[in-house]
Homo-oligomer: A and B are copies of this chain.
Amino acid sequence: MNGAESLVRTLIQGGVEVCFANPGTSEMHFVGALDRVEGMRCVLGLFEGVCSGAADGYYRMTDKPASTLLHLGPGLANAAANLHNAKKAGSGIVNIVGEHALYHIKYDTPLTADIEGIARPFSHWVKTSPTSKTVAGDGALAIQAARVAPGQISTLILPADTAWGEADGVAETPATPAPAGPTHDEVVAAAKALMHGKSAMLFLGGRALRARGLELAGKISAKTGCTVQAAGGTARIERGAGRVPVLRLHFVVETAQAQLKGTEHMVLVATKPPAAFFAYPGKPSVLTPEGCTVTTLCPVEGDPLASLEALAAELGALNEKPSGIAQPSRPDKPIGKFTLEGLGQALGATMPEGAIVVDESVTTGRGFFPYSVGAPPHDWLNNMGGSIGFGGPVAVGAAVACPNRKVICMIGDGSAMYTIQSLWTMARENLDVCVMIFSNRSYKILYSQLADVGAAQPGPRAIDMLTLDRPTIDFATMSKSLGVPGGQAHDLEELTKQLSFAMSTKGPYLIDVVM
């Protein structure tokens, strides 16, 4: 058994059963091993950002790391933006990067680069395995590190000679220590902070936003009168009818401040204190009202469900009926010209039970939540790293993770062009994804941002940097060229008709929402 095969077998034995790959020469032995070993699904991406984003989406839906397979430094660099997003979201990934044979590196040939240096800003754990006999053991350590709560990026660098040399066998993956729950003092402090009625807020992130976490928050709110708020960046919210709804903290500073207004006591669960996405002249970075006390019940790397259970128990809230449970209800199918409200209604009116909404709608979708609050139970995934090009790849990974659920992927046109290659993987794997592109033909968010940073009224040259209308991009045609059927929608009626069609069939479909 060579080193590559020992690694593939170690991954499978360690529960890593999917590999999102774009291999090259130095990864050929890994690829060769796939035919000798059962149990690894290898999914090809035409660009490495598709692979890393897919691994992110897969983790969010399974709580299990997938692996990537990337070609040397530049392949890793291409994956890095979506690794950044995954890192910020707490998604675990076993990121495998080929390297030249170690004796070859000194010749500084075209693909030679400082792979560890490239990996470090995007990884929690980085190692170059030195020999074919260490690859399996290092692979096991990489899996262990990827599983550290809430999930970490492990980058294992695999020199070609360690792949083709003889291995010692398969390695056992060591257990990852469970995340720590809160101390009794922490629970008491949080309980005390929440005893202030509606001037107190439970501020939730991470896995606190799964159904059970929100149910516990609803019980605590019923008992104490505190408000419940989700952070701005959320990896996955379980929502819809029968669940306790939350709103995400808004991107715009003033709107976020309004959401937090009156909060004197904030209790954090699996998130950090709220801060502005960007700095703006004359606006604060810290979004909590002045004088607000902030108590951490559970840090980002803690155990939010155990923390909320302990808090509810401390407050005697475990048997409360959660406040605010969403009742089943759907908006009517909207008609007429596109409005942001209408788009939210179209989604809420058509999404099926178990849908996974991957939301990279940027400016368009910020107000969509109310229209699907009573829709059938579903998951909603947002970008936590701010790097665009997130939506398509994450939808690929969510669809691979959950083949029996419909993935609805909403992307702004500017973002969509970053990783448009993801459509091809959806076609190749026949993934059940409905992609909606919101074609406003601009980086629309930047118009408000120009004003917010205090840049002058944009002139023609500045506007030229914000517009995507010269030429316009025909996403439905592009989609077909990549094997994904699709159409354009010019008003809400066309959109709901196409959404209904997409929801009633299996396989990828793209709707270009021409706004």
Binding site for B on A (CB under 8 A): 21, 23-26, 28-29, 31-32, 34-36, 42, 44, 46-47, 49, 72-75, 77-78, 80-81, 84-85, 88, 100-101, 103-104, 107-111, 113-114, 117-118, 120-122, 160-161, 164, 233, 272, 275-279, 281, 285-286, 383-387, 389, 414, 417-418, 420-421, 424, 427-428, 443, 445-446, 449-450, 452-456, 458-462, 464-466, 468, 470-475, 477-478, 480-483
Contacts and interface: CB of A to CB of B under 8 A. Distances in A.
B81 A77 contact: yes
Contacts of A73: 84, 121
Contact of A462 (B35, B428, B443): B35
Contact of A74 (B42, B72, B84, B445): B84
Contacts of A113: 84, 121-122
A28 B451 CA distance: 9
A376 B28 CA distance: 41
A420 B418 contact: no
A296 to B, nearest CB: 15
Contacts of A468: 46
A373 B460 CA distance: 45
Contact of A386 (B42, B111, B117): B111
A465 B31 contact: yes
Nearest to A452: B25
Given A161-B279, A446-B24, A456-B32, A477 B473 contact: no
Contacts of A478: 477-478, 481-482
B471 A25 contact: no
A25 B449 contact: yes
17 contacts: A21-B465, A23-B446, A24-B443, A24-B449, A32-B458, A32-B462, A44-B464, A73-B84, A74-B387, A77-B81, A101-B279, A108-B272, A109-B277, A110-B233, A118-B118, A417-B424, A418-B421
Question: For A74, A107, A462, which residue has the most chain B Cβ atoms within 10 angstroms?
Answer: A74
Contact of A117 (B49, B117, B460, B464): B117
B470 A35 contact: no
A46 B111 contact: no
A47 B417 contact: yes
A281 B29 CA distance: 12
Given A88-B110, A121-B114, A421-B417, A25 B459 contact: no
Given A103-B279, A477-B481, 17 more contacts: A29-B453, A34-B459, A35-B458, A47-B417, A47-B418, A77-B80, A80-B80, A88-B110, A104-B278, A107-B275, A108-B275, A110-B385, A111-B277, A111-B278, A117-B120, A160-B453, A428-B471
A36 B88 CA distance: 37
Contacts of A160: 278-279, 453
A285 B109 CA distance: 10
A23 B388 CA distance: 12
A161 B453 CA distance: 9
B35 A453 contact: no
Contacts of A44: 464-465
A284 to B, nearest CB: 10
Given A23-B446, A462-B35, A417 B46 contact: yes
Nearest to A447: B28
Interface centre among A117, A454, A459, A462, by most chain B C-beta atoms within 10 angstroms, is A462
Contacts of A233: 110
Contacts of A464: 42, 44
Given A78-B81, A80-B118, A482-B473, A421 B420 contact: yes
Contact of A285 (B103, B450, B454, B483): B103
Contacts of A452: 25
Contacts of A78: 49, 78, 80-81, 389, 418
A383 to B, nearest CB: 8
A415 to B, nearest CB: 10
A471 B427 contact: yes
A273 to B, nearest CB: 8
Contact of A26 (B278, B465, B477): B278
Contact of A450 (B31, B461, B470): B31
Nearest to A23: B465
Nearest to A281: B164
A107 B283 CA distance: 14
Contacts of A421: 417-418, 420
